[in-house]
Structure 1
Amino acid sequence: MGDVAHLGHVEVYSDRFEESLDFYTRIYGLKLSLLEQDTAWLRAWDDYEFHSLKLTRHHTTGVGHIGYRAESPEALERRVAAITAAGYKTHGWFDDDPGHGRAFRFEDPFGHVFELYYDTRRAEPAEGDRPALKNMASKFTAQGASPRRLDHLNLLATDVAAFRRFMETCLGSRVTEMIQLDNGRVGGCWFTVNNKTYDLACTEEHGRGDGRLHHVTYATDQREDILRAADIFLENGVHIETGPHKHAIQGTFFLYVWEPAGNRMELANAGARLILAPDHAPVVWTETERKKGQAWGLKTIETFHTHGTPPVKSDH
């Protein structure tokens, strides 16, 4: 293990804040930890931290920042020194979020803002939300789709190889799977900082945008949870983009929807595979292999390559 423990939270922008908040709580099934005028702090029922998703009212959509928790205060300082020495754009220290202590913010070459922190605020279930089993963060309430925990997110970049260097340098991430295109470019990389198969993916930007989000994913316990969620989304008029189906890369069972503001959200059964081998080499997929589609033959739909947030003119 390195200096970084795990993906902690993602800030998502919405220009339809009230509708997005209703989606995330009533339909997607996250728990509300705190609501202020323009910001909501949310978490899944077994996320141990105060929040895993920060929803912020904004004039546009997309990702505000991505938060990773360090292994220790000393590890945080080591990472900050490495980031500063590497010459990436930095935003300095911030200590104004109710969900965690001071955090150091920095930026990848494509405009995505990251932050590293160690001191954190734990989940604080109310009296009626306390679990019967003390090893769970809160009670399972079966509200909406009710995912168990934050799993990963996918960002878009015009140069995935450059993004890979950023992740390896700044977070100590390693690549578990990747796509090698025929033209020599890297089409996508899947990164981890621990023994999960991945906590962040980066795929090639096809929409000429900067700093865009592809999707955020929460994990369910089993495939049946995702099938049930598809019916919940259908009944509530949520746009189902693709799935349920199984990915070839990483092997997760998936379902993609768009929340009211247009941000893509995924539910995935993502807990079965772990990377335990200390000498694991990245699994490399060719362009020909990827054109075969997903694991059971479902072809990747066009919007999956073009839609991201915030939108650009080439989005469909």
Structure 2
Amino acid sequence: MAEPCFDIAHLGHIELYTDRFEESLDFFTRVYGLTASLVEDGVAWLRAFDDYEFHTLKLTRHHTTGIGHVGYRTSSPEALDRRVKVIEAMGCAIGWVDGDEGHGRAFRFTDPDGHIFELYYETRVYEAPPAERPALKNIAQRYHGRGCSPRRLDHFNLLAKDVRAIKAFMTEALGSRVTEEIQLDNGRLGGCWFTVNNKSYDVAYSEDHTGQTGRFHHVTYAVDQREDILRAADIFLENGVHIETGPHKHAIQGTFFLYVWEPAGNRVELANAGARLILRPDWPTVTWTETERKRGQAWGLKTIETFHTHGTPPVPPKSHV
């Protein structure tokens, strides 16, 4: 096996588009429990209470929904240069951008499905204002208990026409390791889970059954324990949030989960933070068969149909001639 590459330190942030900006912002702050570092001109930079960076979610007013871009922070300026050279040689580079409110200069590129990624090193560390200063100085912000109050950004999931092409791309471009995957009977990969560090995964890709490209499946923030997710289910219920599936335990990756749709239709998950770490340096990819996955989740809950059909932006209706 190839030696693990740790040029990428961690998932930094994702940008979500919403065509219902005010309602989405209310959901992510009042109900979900993130904190706004800055809101201006139809853009909100949001974070969980123990995220160390200025933001982990950028919410952008847009004419539709789905993903804007994904940001990863590198482990050093030199690591950024190394990754840029690799990605340029792969022929998928977009080029350098000046940065954002939350970080400095960044290098952008696309995956085979058209999703936009960026790599950066220079970042803006969150400095809590007086009202958000923690009692203990080893966390980024006080625990306010507002809404579901997740601790940190955990992972995200994208849809793709060809997951096998994504697998080859992610291992080369980011140096990611594949921790688990789904092998379909037709020879295609139904899903693939990747990590750039010792977390069990920071991104998953699922096959898009619609044949579309560049679509978004979900973003996940982590809470400390299962009871936090049970509490969140009641919070979502009381606020009229559509609960899609869960609470339950995933068979793949072992996380305790709850999926909802925010007001614009983007799927959002809460999961327990302490599910698994990949400490073994020669971790072999765990491959699940189609038959095994049809048995459902860890305790037998069948995967809901919308989990395979719902993504953002929505698929345009077919025109009739």
Structure 1 distance, partners of 2:296, 2:273, is 19
Instruction: Report the secondary structure of 1:150's partner residue.
Output: strand
Letter in 2 for 1:5: A
Letter in 1 for 2:90: A
Answer yes or no: is 1:132 the counterpart of 2:160: no
How much does 1:202 deviate? 0.3
Instruction: Report the secondary structure of 1:100's partner residue.
Output: coil
Q: Please say if residues 208 and 312 of structure 1, whose CA atoms lie closer than 8 Å, have aligned partners that are also in contact.
A: no
In the alignment, which residue of structure 2 is the partner of 1:237?
240
In the alignment, which residue of structure 2 is the partner of 1:32?
36
Q: Please say if residues 253 and 275 of structure 2, whose CA atoms lie closer than 8 Å, have aligned partners that are also in contact.
A: no
Structure 1 distance, partners of 2:17, 2:37, is 17
Q: 1:5-48, CA deviations, whole angstroms, 9 ceiling, x for partnerless residues?
A: 00000000000000000000000000000111110000000000
How much does 1:128 deviate? 1.5
Structure 2 distance, partners of 1:109, 1:279, is 27
In the alignment, which residue of structure 1 is the partner of 2:123?
120
Answer yes or no: is 1:103 the counterpart of 2:114: no
How much does 1:135 deviate? 0.7
In the alignment, which residue of structure 2 is the partner of 1:87?
91
Instruction: Report the secondary structure of 2:159's partner residue.
Output: strand
Q: Given the alignment, which residue of 134, 156, 160 partners 1:157?
A: 160
Q: 1:74-108, CA deviations, whole angstroms, 9 ceiling, x for partnerless residues?
A: 000100000000112x2211114110000000001
How much does 1:157 deviate? 0.4
The aligned runs of 1:1-316 (5 Å cut-off) are 1-88=5-92, 90-313=93-316
Instruction: Report the secondary structure of 1:296's partner residue.
Output: coil
Letter in 1 for 2:39: L
Tell me how many residue pairs correspond in the alignment: 314
Q: Please say if residues 156 and 213 of structure 1, whose CA atoms lie closer than 8 Å, have aligned partners that are also in contact.
A: yes
How much does 1:272 deviate? 3.1
Q: Please say if residues 99 and 106 of structure 2, whose CA atoms lie closer than 8 Å, have aligned partners that are also in contact.
A: no
Structure 2 distance, partners of 1:280, 1:158, is 27
Letter in 1 for 2:154: D
How much does 1:2 deviate? 1.4
Q: Please say if residues 16 and 65 of structure 2, whose CA atoms lie closer than 8 Å, have aligned partners that are also in contact.
A: yes
Q: TM-score, normalised by structure 2?
A: 0.96
How much does 1:303 deviate? 0.3
Structure 2 distance, partners of 1:36, 1:73, is 30
How much does 1:208 deviate? 2.2
Instruction: Report the secondary structure of 2:296's partner residue.
Output: coil
Structure 1 distance, partners of 2:195, 2:153, is 14
How much does 1:232 deviate? 0.2
Q: Please say if residues 207 and 314 of structure 1, whose CA atoms lie closer than 8 Å, have aligned partners that are also in contact.
A: no
How much does 1:271 deviate? 2.0
Letter in 1 for 2:178: V
Q: TM-score, normalised by structure 1?
A: 0.98
Structure 1 distance, partners of 2:297, 2:315, is 26
Structure 2 distance, partners of 1:286, 1:314, is 32
Instruction: Report the secondary structure of 1:184's partner residue.
Output: coil
How much does 1:313 deviate? 4.2
Q: Please say if residues 33 and 50 of structure 1, whose CA atoms lie closer than 8 Å, have aligned partners that are also in contact.
A: yes
Q: Please say if residues 8 and 68 of structure 1, whose CA atoms lie closer than 8 Å, have aligned partners that are also in contact.
A: yes
Structure 1 distance, partners of 2:111, 2:261, is 25
Q: 1:82-139, CA deviations, whole angstroms, 9 ceiling, x for partnerless residues?
A: 0000112x22111141100000000011110000000000112110211111110100
